[in-house]
Amino acid sequence: MVSQLGRVVLIGVGGDSGCGKSTFLKRLSDLFSSDLITTICLDDYHILDRKQRKVTGITALNPKANNFDLMAEQAAALKAGKTISKPIYNHETGCIDPPETIVPTPIVILEGLHPFYDKRVRDLLDFKVYFDLSDEIKIQWKIQRDMAERGHTYDDVIRAIESRRPDFTAFIDPQKQHADVVLQILPSDLPAKADGSKIVKACMVQVDGIPNYEAPYIFDRAISDVCWKPVFPNSDPNLTFCYGTHDYFGRPASYLSIDGEFAPDDSPELEQKLHNTSENRFGELASLILKHTDYPGSRDGTGFFQVLIGLKFRAIYEALTSPALAGTKA
Amino acid sequence: MATDFTKLIEEEKAEAKEICDINGKDSPHCAAAWDAVEEVQAAASHQKTKAPAKNSLQVYCEDNPEAAECRIYED
């Protein structure tokens, strides 16, 4: 069975916890059959369990708490289509459980805090996505997520973010300069909503020259820094959709941004202005958003770009695997 | 059966506050303790989104897929 695998495509998904990684992974499984996807949570490569980290004062963000040698070795084995025996980090007990057997599928996703930290792992990845959440939105999302828990206060949320910040800045955040696509979640430039919650501006940065990747753009690729303000009856009147080029950590890049909220029903109109979406049929992007309006971010650029990144990854996957398919047919 | 995350989060949080009071809020031990809180909270929220509570019909049909009210023919 393993020998039939022509080529395992490895994708790395990075970012802090609560940044939208798992929603993105759900959107990927809407695109691909779940039989095709194996997801590896990189927390499984923790060397120190929760108790040991607390005793030594080393957070999970710290590379010292993680076994990159084993991660690199097993990522290489998976890419070669080999079965591995992977440790399990148990998030409930905080212990390292006995290993499990992982048989690779055509797509293997490495998701977690450090997918691009180790050069050996980084170089194996066929596509690298990083979720870059700004502090303002991080606080708002964590409040939404954690304040539902009884007794969890605003001060606790801030304290937790502040305590983890030094390690986050030192070890996690710098990885974004190695990513192919970065989804930035920023506070909006638009006026705040009536209830005081912040509107999100999502910005999808795509580095030039990613293999098998044609950058999406609006209107005309040659016209940079162009914005479109559509007027939809049920959406934010200030909704702004932009395209432009800039430098991202010294690498030429282009970006798409959506500032403001829109009714999911308006996503076909937004999609219509986009070129190079890698859709198999027109309307696919919008239909994927409308399929799950219950996912967080379905009303703003967060969900829209998560789906777009998924479509772009599918194009990469098809480009990498189709020669193998042609070979078996011949 | 299922882990009581509310209780677990409370315990981790109480421990974090204690560790931070002893070692100072800029200490690595304080950071590691809050990181543990974050980890448990993330696990709790993932569990919630992964497995929404099943209703009685779903539970019944899992146990009795052959029952008249559970049969689905995909043809």
The nearest alpha carbon in chain A to B15 belongs to: A54
Tell me if B61 sits within 8 A of B69, measured CB to CB: yes
- Distance between CA B11 and CA B6 in Å, rounded? 9
Tell me if A146 sits within 8 A of A152, measured CB to CB: yes
Q: What residues of chain A lie within 8 A of the CB of B35, using their CB?
A: 53, 59-61, 163-164, 167
Q: What is the pLDDT of residue A5?
A: 62
Whether B31 sits inside 8 A of A167 (CB atoms) is yes
**Mean pLDDT lowest among A17-21, A43-47, B27-31:** A17-21
Average pLDDT (B3-20) is 86
Per 3-state DSSP, chain B is made up of helix, strand and coil in percentages (nearest 5) of 65, 0, 35
Has residue A319 got a pLDDT over 60? yes
pTM over 0.80: yes
How far is CA A303 from each of CA A76, A231, A264, rounded to the nearest angstrom?
31, 20, 10
Q: What is the pLDDT of residue A150?
A: 58
- Distance between CA A274 and CA A243 in Å, rounded? 10
A52 CA: distance to closest CA in chain B (Å): 10
The nearest alpha carbon in chain A to B36 belongs to: A50
CB within 8 A of B11, min separation 6: which ones? none
A·B CB contacts under 8 A: 84
Has residue A328 got a pLDDT over 50? no
Q: What is the pLDDT of residue B60?
A: 95
Query: What ipTM, to 2 d.p.?
Result: 0.83
pLDDT in tens, A226-279: 999 999 988 888 899 999 999 999 999 999 999 999 998 999 999 999 999 999
What residue has token string 């696509």?
Answer: A181
Q: What is the mean pLDDT of chain A?
A: 90
pLDDT in tens, A75-104: 999 999 999 999 999 998 999 999 999 999
Interface of A with B (CB under 8 A): 17-18, 22, 50, 53-54, 56-61, 91-92, 94, 145-146, 149-152, 156, 159-160, 162-164, 166-167
pLDDT in tens, A102-146: 999 999 999 999 999 999 999 999 999 999 999 989 888 888 777
How far is CA A239 from each of CA A199, A259, A286, rounded to the nearest angstrom?
11, 6, 17
Has residue A325 got a pLDDT over 70? no
Question: Per-residue confidence at A3, pLDDT binned at 50, 70, 90?
Answer: very low
Average pLDDT (B11-37) is 90
B74 CA: distance to closest CA in chain A (Å): 18
Whether A50 sits inside 8 A of B33 (CB atoms) is no
Residue A214's Cβ-count burial label (10 Å; 0-12, 13-18, 19+) is: middle
A92 CA: distance to closest CA in chain B (Å): 7
